[in-house]
Amino acid sequence: METQVQAAPRSAISRSIESDLDSYLDAIADATAIFREAVDAYLQGGSEGSCWRQAGKISEHLRTLDDMQQRLETGVRPQSALGDLVAEMIDPLTGVSRLLKDMKRQITGFAIESGFSSPRRCVPAYLVPDLQELSDEVCAAVDALVESYRPSLLWWEQPFSGEAEHGVSWYENQADRLSMQILKKIFADDSIDLEVKLPLAQLVEEIDRVADQAEGIDRELRARRMAGLPTAAVRDSH
């Protein structure tokens, strides 16, 4: 009877932590959507005001994510099973935080460039669909990374089950393939001046780099799970 009484509040806290972590992951996915919108606005030659609104939007969103992470870290006792679980989840997400800050840097860069009427900002119309597709694949890689965390939220029921059909690496490979195709188009086009080609190539590489970062974080997460599987040890101890 005593065991049942003690287990009940732990289960309630577990569900609360699961809900908080889910909300945190949803917020990361929302940041990815802002990045996609900002890239699209830049490619379409959006106004300076529009680009700065996107920059403000991502900055505010990252502040919200920081607040959510702080609540997660302070919401459980550090030297407890749930505290260990939250720490285990938050630690790899530090990499995600760096990725999101890189997204913010790029969006701010779009806003700064929008204030200049330079030919370097002009993206040839025929490249816009390719760059939008690249942005979609990059964001899909980040979304897949976010989803890869969700099974471990059910740590007391569902162990890590390996590679998803279309995981982070799959989308990163797609992004790499597209970026190479776009770069070849840029440098093969004799109608584009070199002073325009170089910033375009940098834009392609900057967008693609987000997918590279997502894959690096995914590999780290998988290595942690396969090497130690500490959540299983926590789960089996109850």
Spell out the per-residue pLDDT of the chain, length 238, in tens.
444 434 444 455 566 777 788 888 899 999 999 999 999 988 888 777 888 999 999 999 999 998 888 877 776 666 666 666 666 666 667 788 889 999 999 999 988 887 765 555 678 999 999 999 999 999 999 999 988 877 555 444 444 444 456 799 999 999 999 999 999 999 999 999 998 899 999 999 999 999 999 999 888 878 877 776 544 343 344 4
| Alpha carbon of residue 64 to chain centroid | 15
Can you say whether residue 45 is alpha, beta or left, with left for phi > 0 and alpha for psi between -120 and 50 degrees? Answer: left
* C-beta separation of 179 from 136 below 8 A: no
Kindly list the domain boundaries of the chain, sorted by start residue: 2-236
User: Could you give the CA distance from residue 179 to residue 4 in angstroms, rounded to a whole number?
Assistant: 56
What class has domain 2-236? mainly alpha
* C-beta separation of 68 from 86 below 8 A: no
